[in-house]
Amino acid sequence: MALMARPSLLLLDKPTTALNVMVEAAVMELVRDLGRKCGTSVLFISHDLDLVQEVCDRICVIYSSEAVERGRVTDVLSRMRHRYTQALFRVIPLPGTDKNLRQIKAIPGNFPLPHEPPPGCNFGPRCDYFQPGRCDAQEIPMLPAGLDERHDTHCL
């Protein structure tokens, strides 16, 4: 019904949460088809990185209300530069793998309070690679991640 007005943007906030795999696939196929037919762009919000990889062209990884890495899905997921993006993938259990061979590493610490962000990198207090005097010296801008100008990160 939302597409009857031919919107230029359709916002889907976790549209497949609690759906079984078959229903999820049908919903995502329907969204793709309707989006193409109507010329509608889709903003897809999800914690399901497998699904994001399957259905999205671009990705923006957000930590504590701040974009920390963005770019084409293939670029970001093949060359993750921000430590939070990397940490997200370390906590995903891989199907068919022996749990004793690849242990899931939890992200240490807690989210910063929205009204009390740490100086510099927002993820700094939870980062294994935190460098005092560098990562907390000043606000870190979104920087190109290597040679690809379409892949940016907030990590030094």
Phi (first) and psi of residue 73, to 5 degrees = -55, -45
Among 118, 122, 116, 125, residue whose Cα is nearest residue 142: 122
Tokens of 153: 């990160």
Sequence-separated (6 or more) residues with CB below 8 Å from residue 116: none
Mean pLDDT, rounded, for 47-63:
88
Mean pLDDT, rounded, for 119-141:
93
**pTM over the 0.75 mark:** yes
The two beta strands, 41-45 and 148-153, are: unpaired
Among 54, 52, 70, 51, residue whose Cα is nearest residue 62: 70
Rg from Cα positions in the chain: 18
| pLDDT of 125 strictly over 90 | yes
Place 53 in a pLDDT band, splitting at 50, 70 and 90: confident
| pLDDT of 134 strictly over 70 | yes
Angle at 115 between CA 109 and CA 118, to 5 degrees: 50
pLDDT digits (tens, 9 = 90+) for 63-122: 998 999 999 999 998 899 999 999 888 877 666 666 676 677 788 899 888 889 899 999
- Cα–Cα distance, 138 to 120 (Å, whole number): 5
Task: Give the type of residue at 6.
Answer: R
- Cα–Cα distance, 88 to 28 (Å, whole number): 23
- Cα–Cα distance, 59 to 127 (Å, whole number): 21
**What length is written for the chain?**
156
Phi (first) and psi of residue 131, to 5 degrees = -120, 105
| pLDDT of amino acid 99 | 64
% the chain with pLDDT above 90: 35
**Could you give all domains of the chain from N- to C-terminal order, each with its CATH number?**
2-153 (3.40.50.300)
| pLDDT of 61 strictly over 90 | yes
Q: Which residue has the higher pLDDT, 70 or 34?
A: 70
| pLDDT of 50 strictly over 90 | no
